[in-house]
């Protein structure tokens, strides 16, 4: 008899260290094993609930028709409506969106907010689209995923290269179809149309909170602690500004044009003003130019990768000198790098905890929309603080109890919570 031909799944053929879905799965498997997860629930949690692939025809300003590809993945909705951002980027793939949707599932569970996980993406270069092309693209994409959207079913938010304006168009398109205004269908909206105070800064603020907790935990002085931040967008710039205000020294920042280093500290307000006026950090005069790769290897106390996936890999992990890494981005560290950092004793605050401030205030926004009653920024920030500190402490305790690092502890805690709901709900047959 001829031996059966081995079928290699496409994810196996890809360079595995950089495949985000595999990166997520490797961590998931480690945690599931430690939890002795029962095989049935294990199978359910390894599989996305729903994956939509849509084509998005858009009439361009020059009169030509372009067709874009869009995705929306609902990874798991056992704990509540699916929640997660939408990104517009040339590198969007179904694998990436699926991994990010799974990460949202674990993230919502780590901070214990009643949402499942989702993510969406459109393959496009938003920097080359006019404002009206971007609007038509957003509306047509929204129309194509209308069946899954809804305050009770799937609630998008901003992510890479999407913002409050994009959320406003999504909310309007959805509301036009429903024939009435539905604010709670998206979060991260402009405040004037139902957004929450503090939402824009929430991810960066959450990063600031966990960094301070980590410094305390390691008994390192806050004042003068040296910080390097990769990515000076919505997450990185806010985290840098807040940590500077707390007395830490931000010695390096970067964006996609490269980085700046100044051992005396970079005045983050000046950097924000520069970016506001010039769009990118390039040319910012108050420091030495460095590359994004060099930034990751600087001698600092705290490293905040707040840009893209897969920037800390097995190749550069041995050179990382930071004592603490706070993952502002989703998936900045590969699974192979995890091991190396672990052996070096780096205190890694994993993405599903470190950057959960954004979705936490998204939850507050959704609650406020449904109540029709709005909270002050002080109340939002205080409640965010409560959630972040409590979650940090919880993950830390869990890691000590089970003798695992913070990432494995966060995954275990999250998977345990999602699995418990699956067991209680049972299987509808």
Applying CB under 6 A, which of residues 196, 230, 249, 362 lies at the interface with ligand GLU? 362
What x-and-dash track marks residues 177-206 binding ligand GLU by CB under 6 A?
----------x-------------------
Say how far apart CA 319 and CA 368 lie, in whole Å. Answer: 45
Q: Is 353 in the site for ligand GLU (CB under 6 A)?
A: no
Which residues partner with 302 through β-bridges?
A: 227, 324
Q: Is 170 in the site for ligand GLU (CB under 6 A)?
A: no
Applying CB under 6 A, which of residues 239, 359, 410, 414 lies at the interface with ligand GLU? 359
Q: How many other β-carbons are positioned within 10 Å of the β-carbon of residue 189?
A: 25
Applying CB under 6 A, which of residues 85, 116, 117, 236 lies at the interface with ligand GLU? 85
Whichever of 206 and 287 has its CB closer to ligand GLU, that residue is 206
Number of residues that this document lists for the chain: 429
Binding-site size for ligand GLU (CB under 6 A) equals: 11
Residue 36: alpha-carbon gap to chain centroid: 27
Q: Is 328 in the site for ligand GLU (CB under 6 A)?
A: no
Q: Is 252 in the site for ligand GLU (CB under 6 A)?
A: no
Shortest spacing between CB 54 and ligand GLU, in angstroms: 20
> Dihedral sign, CA of 208, 79, 377, 161?
positive
Active-site position among 119, 219, 256, 339: 119
Say how far apart CA 196 and CA 96 lie, in whole Å. Answer: 28
What's the CA dihedral at 276, 278, 281, 282 to 10 degrees? Answer: 180
Shortest spacing between CB 122 and ligand GLU, in angstroms: 14
Q: Is 235 in the site for ligand GLU (CB under 6 A)?
A: no
Q: Is 212 in the site for ligand GLU (CB under 6 A)?
A: no
Say how far apart CA 251 and CA 63 lie, in whole Å. Answer: 48
Q: Is 121 in the site for ligand GLU (CB under 6 A)?
A: no
Segment 215 to 234, residues that bind ligand GLU, using CB under 6 A: none
Shortest spacing between CB 234 and ligand GLU, in angstroms: 9
Among residues 350, 332, 340, 341, the alpha carbon closest in space to that of 412 is found at: 350
Q: Is 76 in the site for ligand GLU (CB under 6 A)?
A: no
Residue 238: alpha-carbon gap to chain centroid: 15
Q: Judged by CB under 6 A, which stretch of 7-15, 80-88, 222-230, 380-388 contacts ligand GLU?
A: 80-88
Q: Judged by CB under 6 A, which stretch of 13-21, 81-89, 237-245, 304-312 contacts ligand GLU?
A: 81-89
Whichever of 78 and 362 has its CB closer to ligand GLU, that residue is 362
Q: Judged by CB under 6 A, which stretch of 41-49, 123-131, 246-254, 353-361 contacts ligand GLU?
A: 353-361
Shortest spacing between CB 199 and ligand GLU, in angstroms: 8
Among this protein's residues, is 107 annotated catalytic?
no
Shortest spacing between CB 108 and ligand GLU, in angstroms: 8
Shortest spacing between CB 32 and ligand GLU, in angstroms: 22
Residues taking part in catalysis: 119
Q: Contact positions toward ligand GLU, by CB under 6 A?
A: 83-85, 157, 159, 187, 330, 355, 358-359, 362
């Amino acid at each position: 008899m001829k031996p059966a031909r081995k079928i290699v799944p496409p994810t196996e053929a890809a360079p595995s260290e950089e495949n985000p879905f595999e990166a997520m799965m490797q961590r998931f498997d480690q945690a599931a094993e430690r939890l002795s997860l029962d095989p049935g629930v294990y199978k359910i949690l390894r599989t996305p609930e729903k994956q939509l692939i849509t084509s998005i025809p858009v009439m361009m300003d020059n009169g030509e028709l372009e067709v874009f590809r869009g995705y929306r993945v609902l990874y798991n909705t056992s704990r509540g409506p699916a929640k997660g951002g939408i990104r517009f980027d040339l590198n969007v793939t179904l694998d990436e969106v699926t991994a990010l949707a799974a990460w949202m599932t674990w993230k919502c569970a780590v901070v214990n907010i009643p949402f499942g996980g989702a993510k969406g993406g459109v393959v496009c270069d938003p920097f080359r689209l006019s404002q009206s092309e971007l609007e038509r693209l957003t509306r047509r994409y929204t129309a194509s995923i209308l069946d899954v959207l809804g305050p009770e079913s799937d609630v998008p938010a901003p992510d890479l290269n999407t913002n409050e304006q994009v959320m406003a168009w999504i909310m309007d398109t959805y509301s036009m179809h429903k024939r009435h205004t539905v604010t709670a269908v998206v979060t991260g909206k402009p405040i004037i149309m139902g957004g929450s105070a503090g939402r824009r800064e929430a991810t960066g603020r959450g990063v600031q909170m966990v960094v301070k907790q980590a410094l305390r935990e390691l008994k390192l002085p806050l004042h003068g602690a040296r910080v390097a931040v990769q990515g000076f967008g919505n997450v990185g710039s806010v985290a840098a500004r807040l940590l500077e205000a707390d007395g830490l020294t931000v010695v390096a920042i970067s964006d996609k044009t490269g980085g700046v280093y100044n051992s005396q500290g970079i005045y983050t307000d000046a950097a924000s003003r520069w970016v506001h006026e010039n769009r990118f950090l390039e040319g910012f005069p108050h420091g030495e130019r460095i590359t994004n790769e060099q930034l990751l290897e600087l001698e600092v106390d705290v490293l905040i990768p707040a840009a893209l996936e897969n920037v800390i890999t097995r190749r550069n992990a041995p050179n990382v000198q930071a004592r603490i890494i706070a993952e502002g981005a989703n998936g900045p560290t590969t699974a192979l790098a995890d091991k190396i950092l672990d052996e070096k004793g780096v205190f890694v605050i994993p993405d599903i905890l470190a950057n959960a401030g954004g979705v936490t205030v998204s939850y507050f926004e959704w609650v406020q929309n449904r109540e029709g009653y709005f909270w002050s920024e002080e109340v939002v920030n205080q409640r965010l603080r409560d959630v972040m500190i409590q979650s940090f402490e919880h993950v830390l305790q869990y890691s000590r109890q089970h003798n695992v690092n913070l990432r494995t502890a966060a995954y275990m805690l999250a998977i345990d919570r999602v699995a418990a709901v699956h067991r209680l709900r049972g299987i509808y047959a």
